[in-house]
Structure 1
Amino acid sequence: MLNASAPIVKEQPHRQTVLIVDDTPQNITVLGELLQPHYTVRAANSGERALRAAHSDPRPDIILLDVMMPGMSGYEVLRQLRAEKDTRDIPVIFVTAMDSTESEEQGLELGAADYITKPVKPAIVLARVRTHLEFKHARDRLANQNEWLEREVARRMSENLLIQDLSMRALASLAEARDTDTGHHILRTQAYVDILARHLEHHERFREALAGGRLAMVVKAAPLHDLGKVGIPDAILLKPGRLTPEEFEIMKTHAAIGAAAIGKAMQDALAAADDVTAAQASGAFAFLQVAHEIALSHHEKWDGSGYPAGLAGDSIPASGRLMALADVFDALTCHRIYKKPMSIGQATQILTEGRGTHFDPDVVDAYLACRERFADIAMRFHDTAPVFAGSIS
Structure 2
Amino acid sequence: MQLSYSAAEQAFREEVRAFLRTDLPDDIRKKVLTNRPLAKDDIVRWTRILHARGWGAPNWPAEHGGTGWTPVQSYIFTDEAALAGAPEPIAFGVRMVAPVLLAYGTDEQKDRYLPRILSGDDWWCQGYSEPGAGSDLASLTTSAVRDGDVFVVSGQKIWTTYAQHADMMFCLVRTDPEARKQRGISFLLIDMRSPGITVRPIITLDGKHEVNEVFLDGVRVPASNLVGELHRGWDCAKYLLRHERFSTGMIGQIQRNLAQLVEFAAARPGPGGPLGEDLSFCERIARIGIEVDALEYTLLRALSEADGGGDVGTMASLFKIRSCQLLQQVSELRMDALGSDALAYPSEAREPEWRSGSVLPDDAPAQVANYLNLRKLTIYGGSEEVQKNILAKTELHL
TM bucket, shorter chain: under 0.3
Greater strand share, 1 or 2?
2
Alignment TM-score, normalising by the size of structure 2: 0.22
Greater helix share, 1 or 2?
1
Structure showing greater Rg: 1
Alignment TM-score, normalising by the size of structure 1: 0.23
Greater RCO, 1 or 2 (C-alpha within 8 Å, sep 6+):
2
